[in-house]
Amino acid sequence: MRLTNKNTLLLFFILTTYNLLGQTPKMGRVLGWQIDTAQNETFDQAVLQASNVCMEASHVSFAWSEIEPANGNFDMNFIHNNLDLANNFYSTNQIKIELQISTINTTTKETPYDLQNIAFDNPTMISRFKILLDTLFQHMPDVELIALNIGNESDVYFGTSSNQYQAYKTFLDSVIPYAKQKYFALHGTNLKVGTTFTFEGLTSSSTSSLCHLVNNSTDMVSTTYYPLNPDFTMGPPNIVFNHFNNLINQYNNPSKPIYIVELGYASSLQCNSSENQQAQFYQNVFEAWDNHSDIIRYISFFKLTDWSQEQVNYFANYYGITDPIFLEFLRTLGVRENNGNHKPAFDIIACELFSRNWCTTDCVIGSTDDLQPNMMTIFPNPAENKIFIKIKHPIKSIKIYNFSGQILYRGKKKIINLEKFPNGFYMVKVKTKNNHIFIRKLIKN
């Protein structure tokens, strides 16, 4: 690990102690990233950035209509520049792919042109998709898939039409076994295949039973998760705790794990957010994930880098939405700015991963203190006999750790007696009732 703080001895102590604050270890969970390049950055350089924050899999998405625009007319330029290159790059670098083939992409049916008016349970639709799978595995024979998702956020397109959900279930019942058979023949291992719904689709009373119907055919429950309000502003950073609980209430079966294939939080002020709120959200994500680590087995952070305005304009046209708040939501989902500079969320993610022994990361713990400046202070510091904790939120718990990571104090009192504490360095961890976490160093003289 590269120590980046000027006071390397103090940072080493902070990192060592932070690593022992009781977070749930990795335990087989997998972290993925949506990789996006910054200005004047190569794709290899962006991959290195994601690898520095423990990327094991990459979220990769292609539309059926991109590969096969019309009946049997496969776009060989697209296949060479995307499928062939992805197969070579990811297999060579031993990076797994969570692959998404969009038959539907949120608001748009992405089938070849001649199938646009054909129902998904039509035998022609099914046979044509199997031919697509033949092409897919022919050009991507070497890359290891952590999962294959067929369709993206289809509940938005289907609405509450039970006929469309049933037709799509019939389609999946036919093509999923075929995909699994093709993959096993190449790799000798089983492939998890599913379809992606939105978090709202999985949990809303109007669509949850319809999504359940379709997911009866899948190996996992795949979803996208953005805590958006109806006006495209962001919900509070701690809403993730309730949302994850709601999701688990719908799907609480370890044999059918949950894969969150896109998870993101915008940082724009226009979205009622900030870079600090984005960082706090990701800190909360890890704690909420710890609570459900046996069910939620995969999360892909969306995304590594902010899109350029040109890219935002493309998606605005694709979705047919020009609301400036929505455009800012799209533009600021990255944990790096478009010029490559890290936002606070990037460093918080690195520290959360380091604390769970996920991989070796560059963790600058000082960023935690910057999340809510002046929201909590400890005085005097250095201290002799007692300390006073000043905080603006109701306290849920206070713990004090020594250099070895042992807990020397548990409680809720804002005045703490230190007379029995030996002189030295300590770490004070305060958790509030709204699930904010503050970590401060303490020196006892």
Quote the CA–CA distance of 225 and 232 in Å, as a whole number.
13
What pLDDT, in 10s, does the model give residues 85-96? 999 999 999 999
pLDDT for res 140: 98
Correct CATH for 372-444 of 3.40.50.1980, 1.25.40.10, 2.60.40.1930, 2.60.40.2580: 2.60.40.1930
Residue whose entry in the numeric block shows the structure tokens 């019942």? 173
* CA triple 48-318-327, angle to 5 deg: 70
**Residue predicted with more confidence, 22 or 61:** 61
Quote the CA–CA distance of 315 and 335 in Å, as a whole number.
19
pLDDT for res 424: 83
What pLDDT, in 10s, does the model give residues 383-409? 999 999 998 888 989 988 775 557 889
pLDDT for res 441: 76
Quote the CA–CA distance of 199 and 285 in Å, as a whole number.
15
What pLDDT, in 10s, does the model give residues 336-371? 999 999 998 998 898 788 778 788 776 544 334 444
**Residue predicted with more confidence, 5 or 266:** 266
Residue 309, token pair as written in the block: 């305005």
Quote the CA–CA distance of 154 and 164 in Å, as a whole number.
10
pLDDT-derived band at 18, boundaries 50, 70, 90: very low
Quote the CA–CA distance of 253 and 239 in Å, as a whole number.
23
What pLDDT, in 10s, does the model give residues 152-190? 999 999 999 999 999 999 999 999 999 999 999 999 999
pLDDT for res 11: 40
Residue 288 has pLDDT above 50, yes or no: yes
What pTM was estimated for this model as a whole?
0.81
Residue whose entry in the numeric block shows the structure tokens 């703490």? 416
Q: How far is CA 411 from the centre of its chain?
A: 33
Lowest-confidence segment of 353-357, 380-384, 419-423 by average pLDDT = 353-357
Quote the CA–CA distance of 83 and 79 in Å, as a whole number.
5
Query: Average pLDDT of 58-77?
Result: 96
Those residues whose C-beta lies under 8 Å from the C-beta of residue 362, and which sit 6 or more positions away, are 1, 2, 4, 52, 350
SS3 of residue 358 by DSSP: coil
pLDDT-derived band at 246, boundaries 50, 70, 90: very high
CATH 3.20.20.80 occupies which residues in the chain? Answer: 26-362
Give the DSSP letter of residue 146: E
Exposure on the CB side of residue 266, measured as CA atoms within 13 A: 23
Which contiguous run of DSSP H or E holds residue 170? helix 162-187
Q: What would the CATH number be for the domain defined by 26-362?
A: 3.20.20.80
Q: Is the peptide bond before 382 cis (omega within 30 degrees of 0)?
A: yes
pLDDT for res 14: 42
pLDDT for res 404: 56
- Residue 297 contacts residue 57 (beta carbons within 8 Å): no
- Residue 371 contacts residue 276 (beta carbons within 8 Å): yes
pLDDT for res 405: 59
pLDDT for res 6: 35
Query: Average pLDDT of 412-423?
Result: 91
| R_g of the chain computed on alpha carbons | 24
What pLDDT, in 10s, does the model give residues 32-50? 999 999 999 999 999 999 9
Backbone φ, ψ for residue 131 (5° rounding):
-65, -40
- Residue 245 CB neighbour total at 10 angstroms: 12
pLDDT for res 350: 85
CA distances from 190 to 147, 156, 271, 305 (A): 10, 30, 42, 32
Closest CA to 301 of 351, 339, 347, 265: 265
CATH 2.60.40.1930 occupies which residues in the chain? Answer: 372-444
pLDDT for res 442: 84
Strands 108-109 and 424-432 come out as unpaired
